[in-house]
């Protein structure tokens, strides 16, 4: 079991502030990953997403799950150059509000591998309660090595 700090996360996926939705990876195994993001009142999306009652947008919760899945894929394909791709959503449910001061804990598990594409189940937990859950399709766009273009 491994963990990743913010510097390792930034070297693994291309996302940057204000769109980086993962602060730390706490468990990294071949088919499972756990990570989190601390939600602060200073998040830029709170300026326009219900400023008088700030709630993390549902789509950003899914983005956090997708970025966590990308970190899992990166660990599998770190020897090849590529970028992670969020390919689709089979289902998503939102069961609890996520607000400033909360910590979004992400849990992502691989359910099916289809070549370089994966079907994963993901959850956002806040204080042990499921805030969101979904099934996503993710993959990696690989780049040809430079000698392949000759």
- pLDDT exceeds 60 at position 51: yes
What are the Cα distances from residue 70, in Å, to 28, 32, 45, 76, 123?
12, 12, 22, 10, 14
- Chain centroid offset of residue 70 CA: 6
- pLDDT exceeds 90 at position 131: yes
pTM for the model: 0.93
Catalytic residue among 49, 52, 74, 149: 49
pLDDT given for residue 135 in this prediction: 98
For 19-22, the CB contacts below 8 A with 24+ separation are 19/63, 20/67, 21/60, 21/63, 21/64, 21/67, 21/104, 22/64, 22/67, 22/68, 22/71, 22/106
Going by C-alpha positions, the residue among 48, 22, 46 that lies closest to residue 35 is: 22
**In whole numbers, what is the pLDDT of the chain averaged over residues?**
93
- pLDDT exceeds 70 at position 74: yes
Nearest-5° Cα angle at 97, 96 to 100: 140
Going by C-alpha positions, the residue among 14, 11, 20 that lies closest to residue 83 is: 14
Domains defined along the chain, listed by start: 2-149 (3.10.129.10)
> 49 catalytic, yes or no?
yes
Query: Bridge-partner residues for 98, per DSSP?
Result: none
pLDDT-based confidence at residue 125 (cuts at 50, 70, 90): very high
Question: Model confidence over 76-109: pLDDT tens digits?
Answer: 787 788 888 999 999 999 999 999 999 999 999 9
- pLDDT exceeds 90 at position 120: yes
- pLDDT exceeds 70 at position 149: no
pLDDT given for residue 81 in this prediction: 82
- pLDDT exceeds 70 at position 4: yes
pLDDT-based confidence at residue 116 (cuts at 50, 70, 90): confident
Percent of the chain with pLDDT over 70: 95
pLDDT given for residue 126 in this prediction: 98
Comparison of pLDDT for 87 and 75, the residue scoring more: 87
Q: How far apart are CA 77 and CA 118, in angstroms?
A: 13
3-state secondary structure of 85: strand
């Amino acid at each position: 079991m491994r963990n990743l700090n913010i510097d390792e996360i930034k070297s693994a996926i291309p996302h940057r502030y204000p769109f980086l939705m993962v602060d730390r990876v706490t468990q990294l195994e071949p088919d499972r990953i756990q990570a989190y993001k601390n939600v602060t009142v200073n998040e830029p999306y709170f300026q326009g997403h219900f400023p008088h009652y700030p709630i993390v947008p549902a789509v950003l919760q899914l983005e956090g799950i997708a970025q966590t899945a990308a970190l899992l894929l990166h660990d599998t394909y770190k020897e090849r150059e590529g970028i992670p791709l969020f390919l689709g959503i089979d289902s998503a449910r939102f069961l609890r509000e996520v607000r400033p001061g909360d910590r979004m804990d992400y849990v992502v598990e691989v359910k099916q591998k289809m070549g370089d594409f994966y079907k994963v189940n993901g959850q956002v937990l806040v204080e042990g309660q499921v805030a969101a859950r979904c099934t996503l399709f993710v993959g990696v766009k690989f780049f040809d090595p430079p000698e392949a273009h000759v």
